[in-house]
Chain A
Amino acid sequence: MEFSLTSDQVALRTEIRSWLADNVPREAPPHEGAAETRAFDVAWQRRQFDGGWAGVSWPKEYGGRGLGLVEQLIWYEEYARAGAPNIRSCFVSINHAGPTLIMRGSEEQKRKHLRSILAGDEVWCQGFSEPEAGSDLGSLRTAARVDGDELVVNGQKIWTSFAHIADFQELLVRTDPAAPKHKGITWAICDMHAPGIDVRPIRSMDGAVDFCEVFYDDVRIPLDNVVGELNDGWRVAMTTLSFERGTAFAADQMAMSLMVERLVTVATERSLDGSGRVAILDDEFARRLAGLRAEVAALRSMTYLGASRNRESVQPGPEGSFLRLGVGLLMQRISRLAMDLLGEDALEWSAPVRHHGNWSNDYLFGFSRTISAGSKDIQRNIIGERLLGLPK
């Protein structure tokens, strides 16, 4: 056990901090409008790419820096500390599709997409969930038959964030209906501008219009776009999800730390009721804030412990579920405390209130954190079955 940054890593942190100070967009991201959202997100992605920061741990040949996991963590920490914008519509390409292609893609697929992903030239979305295939992802029914050198896709996906602005989709389809359910699935790169695709946005409870339904009517995908082998898509999808459950949430540690510190400041200034007594003098709030500080610290330590385990392996292990679960639940506890601290002001939602960053919004958005990428129940199944070896 040891904890020391090399002089290169210390220098890297300084360099990152100063670059972010000069380059983080000062304007807030747009809340509405597909075109505006895309324009903002890809411009910021492009700026990171031009600065050489878009893929700290990605291979150099695809535009990354070729550095290690610790350097990637340093980037995420500084990124959040600098208040840089949420990655939003670039999340899937950077955190899912890219790492999956690096591990499982063909040389041609890598050459075609990886650099474009880093540069913000491509926006991706995820086509995993279906109306009847949520937690039971393996039961998905969107079908694809092979016709010559193409797949022909018919069916429906749902909860596809940013489908309405994406260029490509990581699409799971059933290519062998006769095979056992996990054996007949294929992971393919779907061009979202292809004929036969119909996208219908859905508004979520935090007011955002990121979610979409996607309908496929004889959509043709070249077989060259299959990642891994035909009918081997489940294994590829598990690779994808392990990234989402592993390293992709590293920036959240620092973001949560900043949220708790902001809440401490709010509590030292804000009076609980008309009495003028500030919230931090209240036993309950003081203890809850202290407890959250400790929990954020523990989650950061879990991130480092996880990174220590992953040092030798390219793909994160099932321990990633510790972090996925921990981040989601802690985010919810933090914004829940904010709701209690703000009193009736928390009811006010669209209009900014004094001492009220965007807490009500964080609270509403927080519900998604234990649903997406495998609900908290699925994460506990993974921990129980794959880490503890309990029977199915």
Chain B
Amino acid sequence: MIDLLPSAEQRAIIDEAAALLASARRTGPGRELSGASFFASDLRARCGAQGWFTMALPEKLGGIGATVADQAVVFREAGRALGPVQLLGAVLAAHVAVELGESDLAARIGSGELSVGVGQLTRGPSGGMLFDPSASWSAVVSPAGDVVHLVEVAPGSVAPVSAIDPLTDVGRFATAALLRDALTLTGPVARSLVARTLVLAAAYQSGIAEAVRDMSVAYVKQRHQFGVPIGSFQAVKHRCAEMAVRAEAAWAQTAFAAVTAGVDGYDTGFEAAAAKYIATTSAVENARDNIQNHGAIGYTTEHEAHLYLGRAHLFDHLLGDTRAQLASMIPERTSTAARLELENADD
């Protein structure tokens, strides 16, 4: 059976996730634009209680044996609602802890008791960026996506920076200081875990691409200029159509990567990288077009449009940015360079 549409159970998961996020999200005029107040403080615990972080683990390890696709539909909703980075951090960290036999730690992360940010080592070995350093723990991914460190964030090991995404705390860290007592997962297990998490990040970006598409479509139907809705102008209509095409491509590739993850005959690493790349491009381009479609109001902080833009860019840098994903999809470059070096050495 080939079916990329959500099953009845998955539709129930989607509805539940959307309702949970909507009820926890604080919207309305005068809201404080900060990560701490955008969602209710018990969001993480409520998501943990729903099993969002551990659902894909086998039952004996605290999960319910759900598929990557089940988890991806949750993260699509998270993207639509701009759910915090910690949601992704908790999934990654719970899986790392389980793989390393730290079942008590895994359970505390899975329940939402402990908060986990996501760190990304930049290409140099000495440091990187941590998304949500206020979290007590952090899951830090290597540039090549083949090593994941799980570490309790020591006070003073991260220098806060103010960021393009006002809802997410960001900090820079020095590798040596942050990872001193890290638990480290390597090898094929780490690689496969990162690939599966990439699919979730792609699902999140798909959610952003869809949310801003819907926001634009609703707005251009009701905003009138020259006596007609601006959505009747071909220039605007076609921009919305392109947003729809990008959102379709993002979710289609994400869904394909999700349902074929770990299946014989499919290259999960490639499919996940393609999903992250396509979904990120879609999220960023759609967020940009959404600001344009809204005109001046879209350029203000009174409107949510800029929040989606900042978050889409931030997620680009989680688990390897666009450059890194592209590089991973063309291994021939490295192999050709190696071959030529050998040939030259022979000469």
Contacts and interface: CB of A to CB of B under 8 A. Distances in A.
Interface string B69-104: 100010000000000000000000000000000000
A264 B231 CA distance: 41
B248 interface: yes
B36 interface: no
Interface of A: 1-6, 70, 264, 267-268, 278, 280-281, 286-287, 289-291, 293-295, 297-302, 304-305, 307-309, 311, 319, 322, 325-326, 377, 379-381, 383-385, 387-392
Contacts of A304: 2, 4, 252, 256
B159 interface: no
Interface centre among A2, A377, A387 (most CB of B within 10 A): A2
A390 B330 contact: no
A6 B3 CA distance: 13
Interface stretch (B114-122, B171-179, B237-245): B237-245
B330 A280 contact: yes
Nearest to B232: A391
Contacts of A289: 330
Contacts of B326: 286-287, 290-291, 294
Nearest to B68: A1
Interface centre among B228, B240, B260 (most CB of A within 10 A): B240
Contacts of B333: 280-281, 286
Interface of B: 1-7, 10, 67, 69, 73, 217, 220-221, 228-229, 231-232, 234, 237-238, 240-242, 244-245, 248-253, 255-256, 258-260, 263, 270-271, 273-274, 277-278, 323, 325-327, 329-330, 332-333, 336-337, 340
B256 A301 contact: yes
A293 B3 CA distance: 23
Contacts of A4: 1-2, 263
B277 A294 contact: yes
B323 to A, nearest CB: 8
A294 B273 contact: yes
Closest 4 pairs (CB-CB, A-B): A301-B256, A384-B237, A294-B274, A301-B252
Contacts, number: 167
B347 to A, nearest CB: 12
A391 B270 CA distance: 40
B255 A391 contact: no
B39 to A, nearest CB: 27
Nearest to A303: B252
A5 B2 contact: yes
Contacts of B250: 298
A304 B332 CA distance: 28
Contacts of A5: 2
B329 A293 contact: yes
B241 A380 contact: yes
22 contacts: A1-B7, A3-B2, A4-B1, A70-B2, A267-B332, A280-B333, A281-B340, A286-B326, A294-B253, A294-B329, A297-B270, A298-B253, A301-B249, A302-B249, A326-B249, A377-B234, A379-B241, A380-B242, A383-B245, A389-B217, A390-B232, A391-B228
Contacts of A267: 332
A384 B241 contact: yes
A287 B228 CA distance: 43
A287 to B, nearest CB: 5
Contacts of A70: 2
A267 B331 CA distance: 13
Contact of A381 (B234, B255, B337): B234
B266 to A, nearest CB: 8
Contacts of B330: 264, 280, 286-287, 289-290, 293
B232 A301 contact: no
B4 A3 contact: yes
A389 B237 CA distance: 10
A301 B217 CA distance: 24
Given A3-B260, A294-B329, A281 B336 contact: yes
A384 B240 contact: yes
A354 B74 CA distance: 50
B2 A390 contact: no
A391 B221 contact: yes
Given A264-B332, A286-B333, A304-B252, A325 B258 contact: no
Nearest to B323: A287
B237 A390 contact: yes
Contact of B3 (A1, A287, A290, A381): A1
Contact of B327 (A290, A322, A379, A390): A290
Given A264-B330, A294-B329, A301 B238 contact: no
B249 A299 contact: yes
Nearest to B217: A388
Interface centre among B67, B220, B229, B249 (most CB of A within 10 A): B249
Contacts of A388: 217, 240-241, 244
A115 B142 CA distance: 60
A381 B238 CA distance: 7
B252 A305 contact: yes
A293 B333 CA distance: 14
